[in-house]
Amino acid sequence: MSSDIHTLSGAYAVDALDDIERAKFERHLSECSTCLAEVDSLREAAAVLADTAFMAPPAALRDRVLAGIETVRPLPPVVSLATERRKRRFPALVAAAAVITLIGAGVAVTQPWQDQTTQVTLTAAERILQAPDAETWTKSPVTGGTIKVTRSRSLNQAVVQAKGLAQLPDDKTYQLWLQHDGEMVTAGLLTDASGATVVLDGDPGTAQATAVSVEPAGGSPKPTNFPIATFEFEQV
Amino acid sequence: MDPLRPEVTGVPSSEGAPAAPDLSELLNLSARGDQAAFALLYDAMATRVYGLAVRVVRDPAQAEEVTQEAFLEIWKMASRYDVARGSAPAWMLTIVHRKAVDRVRSAEAATRRDTTYHSQNQAVDHDTTADAAHASFEARRVRAALHSLTAVQREALELAYFGGYTHTEVATMLDLPVGTAKTRIRDGLIRLRDTMGVGA
């Protein structure tokens, strides 16, 4: 990622990014604590700007606002244990990993102040694992550990659970693939070799196979290595 | 309800500053579903929230809608407020600003942009509520701080924050090379932050 992205912090703090830049910067924020702290401080500065725009709202608005909340339940807090585990176990979450879901890890990869997705994504893997049509395959790569794939065709989702895989050097990562018509399409990264659960990105429901390979850190658009494990889905 | 909760009036006493409610605590109470606490939060923040909404979306009816949406979001998300990351007003105004910007960027944005920024910029009426004295004092401090910015920093920042324009649009409007408006906005915010002594 170019160092230039840091300079977007101000525009981000005042919502002056377009949707694409914003998504890109939020991925960056998940791994750059310097930018996160800067955004927080610049939001304080932006808030003082609002001090020049005081205006009393119509009195009736108060009643509408207070009536409006009566039927709405406040969301539960993000459990801090999950956040702690994320910090400890996934220190170097790469940008491309924003497309995958790390279960039990809080998934606070986006701006936590706007984090509405956490509770939902936490259950994504569970939903797949508990689906009535869940199918499971398990393999043990020769390099060690086990990889278990569970797919639900009705949900069009699959989850990979990896345990005890060989640790990779910093410039390598495990990458997940889905095979469609003989083509391998990236389905996310597996950044924690010791143990991780990753929901695949893409369309596992129609894929012929999924595979795991060792690729350059950050992932590769196409496989550059033979897979350490391939799972052929049975097609009906 | 809760007899231990401090009374918050928002009305300045005759001899000095208004009693400042602890907004973080009110947010914590709101997260637990305390509607009375949320009402106090509304009273403490409504002029800033509505004022910001009006400034960005211009149309009072739409500003009311944005205000209502934003307060609902604040109610729902109160448990996600993290005091370690910033002040309660900044957290709330971040939500309000995002809602307001989303509103002006949606379909009707084109018509809004027929109106020039500067003519509208002067049209904001300051409130006449009890905290007007405090408000105008703060506003004077902020305006003074804004004057420590360079003209282009201030203009870029105001177009982005109050105009709801993207940094690319700001660059075009100010005839800046693409990619430099974002730097002006950031530099302006940093200067404002340091002058006002916030967010340290």
d(CA A152, CA A136): 9
pLDDT, position A236: 45
Task: Inform me whether the C-beta atom of residue A79 falls under 8 Å from chain B C-beta atoms.
Answer: no
Question: Is residue B121 pLDDT above 80, yes or no?
Answer: no
Question: Is residue B149 pLDDT above 60, yes or no?
Answer: yes
Q: Which residue would you say has higher pLDDT here, B117 or A18?
A: A18
Among B40, B67, B80, B128, the residue to mutate for chain A (most A Cβ within 10 A): B80
Total residue count of chain B as it appears in this document: 200
Kindly state the average pLDDT of the residues B18-28.
81
pLDDT, position A191: 80
Q: Which residue of B has its CA nearest to A111?
A: B80
How far, CA to CA in Å, does B98 sit from each of A69, B45, B53, B200? Answer: 20, 16, 10, 23
Residues of chain A with pLDDT under 50: 1-2, 82-112, 114-122, 236
Question: Is residue B137 pLDDT above 80, yes or no?
Answer: no
Q: What is the pLDDT of residues B54-109, one digit of tens each?
A: 999 999 999 999 999 999 999 999 999 999 999 999 999 999 999 999 999 885 55
Q: What is the pLDDT of residues A136-161, one digit of tens each?
A: 888 888 778 888 899 988 888 898 88
**3-state secondary structure at position B145:** helix
Among A15, A33, A73, A114, the residue to mutate for chain B (most B Cβ within 10 A): A15
Residue labelled with tokens 């949320």: B38
Torsion of CA B132, B138, B141, B144, to 10 degrees: -60
Task: Inform me whether the C-beta atom of residue B185 falls under 8 Å from chain A C-beta atoms.
Answer: yes
CB of A97 closer than 8 Å to CB of A189: yes
Share of residues in chain B with pLDDT > 90 (%): 64
CB of A131 closer than 8 Å to CB of A155: yes
**3-state secondary structure at position A64:** helix
Complex-level ipTM? 0.81
CB contact under 8 A, A46 and B93: yes
Q: What radius of gyration, in Å, describes the C-alpha atoms of chain A?
A: 21
Question: Is residue B116 pLDDT above 90, yes or no?
Answer: no
d(CA B35, CA A144): 55
Count of A–B CB contacts within 8 Å? 220
* Residue among A197, A190, A185, A149 nearest A173 (CA): A190
Q: Which residue of B has its CA nearest to A64?
A: B68
CB contact under 8 A, A72 and B76: yes
Among A2, A34, A55, the residue to mutate for chain B (most B Cβ within 10 A): A55
How far, CA to CA in Å, does A232 sit from each of A209, A211, A229, B4? Answer: 4, 9, 10, 64
Average pLDDT, chain A: 79
d(CA A125, CA A152): 10
Residues of chain A found within 8 Å of residue B149, distances taken between Cβ atoms: none
Among the partner-chain residues A45, A61, A75, the one whose CB lies closest to the CB of B64 is A61
Kindly state the average pLDDT of the residues B28-39.
96
